[in-house]
Structure 1
Amino acid sequence: QLQLFEDEHPACTVLALHPPHDQTQLALYLHKKWWPLDDVLQTSSESRSGLQPVQSIMERLIVFLLSQVVERPHGEVSFSLHPPTETCKVLWKDGQAVGFYTIKHKRLCDSWSSRCYLLPVLDTVLVRRRYRRRGFGLQILHDFCSSFSSEEFLGVSFPLSSGMVAIRKFLQQHEEHRARLYEVEAPGGWSQRRNIWLN
Structure 2
Amino acid sequence: MESNRTSQTQKTGEIKEIYPIDLPDLDYRALSSTSENILTSLASNTYEGERWFLPSNGSKGLTKTSNVGDRSVTCQTEPLHQVEVTHDNVGRLQLFGDDDPPCTLLTLHVPADGTQVVALNLHGKWWSLNDVLKTSTKSRSGLVMVQSVMERVILFLLSQIIFGVLERPSGEEIYFSPHPMREFGKILWHNGEAVGFYTIKKKGSLCDGFTRRSYQLSVLDTVFVRTQWRRSGLALQILADFCKSLPNEEVIGISCPISPSMIKVCSKYLQMHQDQRDRLYEVEAPGGWGQRRNIWLNIQLNRSTNSEALPRPSLGSGCTNAKVV
The answer as to whether partners of 1:66 and 1:99 remain within 8 angstroms in 2 is: yes
Please report how far the alpha carbon of residue 18 of structure 1 lies from its aligned counterpart in structure 2 after TM superposition. Answer: 2.6
State, as a whole percentage, how many aligned pairs show the same letter.
57
The answer as to whether partners of 2:136 and 2:192 remain within 8 angstroms in 1 is: yes
Q: What does 1:40-119 correspond to in 2, within 5 Å?
A: 40-72=132-164, 73=168, 74-75=170-171, 76-110=173-207, 111-119=209-217
TM-score by length of 2: 0.59
Provide the aligned length of Structure 1 versus Structure 2.
Answer: 199
1:96-143, CA deviations, whole angstroms, 9 ceiling, x for partnerless residues?
A: 001000001111123212111111100000000111000000000000
TM-score by length of 1: 0.95
SS in 2 for 1:71: helix
Structure 1's unaligned 5+ residue stretches are none
Instruction: Give the letter for the 2:276 counterpart.
Output: H
Instruction: Give the letter for the 2:108 counterpart.
Output: L
The answer as to whether partners of 1:25 and 1:69 remain within 8 angstroms in 2 is: no
The answer as to whether partners of 1:29 and 1:35 remain within 8 angstroms in 2 is: yes
Q: Which residue of 2 aligns with 1:7?
A: 98
Q: Which residue of 1 aligns with 2:290?
A: 191
Aligned counterparts of 1:114 and 1:8: Cα–Cα separation in 2: 14
Please report how far the alpha carbon of residue 167 of structure 1 lies from its aligned counterpart in structure 2 after TM superposition. Answer: 1.3
Q: Which residue of 1 aligns with 2:272?
A: 173
Instruction: Give the letter for the 1:156 counterpart.
Output: I
Please report how far the alpha carbon of residue 84 of structure 1 lies from its aligned counterpart in structure 2 after TM superposition. Answer: 0.4
Kindly name which structure, 1 or 2, has the bigger radius of gyration based on alpha carbons: 2
Aligned counterparts of 2:199 and 2:286: Cα–Cα separation in 1: 16
The answer as to whether partners of 1:4 and 1:13 remain within 8 angstroms in 2 is: yes
The answer as to whether partners of 1:63 and 1:100 remain within 8 angstroms in 2 is: yes
Please report how far the alpha carbon of residue 86 of structure 1 lies from its aligned counterpart in structure 2 after TM superposition. Answer: 0.3
Q: What does 1:90-169 correspond to in 2, within 5 Å?
A: 90-110=187-207, 111-164=209-262, 165-169=264-268
Aligned counterparts of 1:163 and 1:96: Cα–Cα separation in 2: 23
1:134-182, CA deviations, whole angstroms, 9 ceiling, x for partnerless residues?
A: 0000000000000011211010001102331311211122111111100
The answer as to whether partners of 1:71 and 1:129 remain within 8 angstroms in 2 is: no
Aligned counterparts of 2:253 and 2:108: Cα–Cα separation in 1: 38
Instruction: Give the letter for the 2:206 counterpart.
Output: C
RMSD: 1.3
Off by >6 Å, runs of 4+ in structure 1: none
Q: Which residue of 1 aligns with 2:41?
A: none
Aligned counterparts of 1:96 and 1:24: Cα–Cα separation in 2: 23
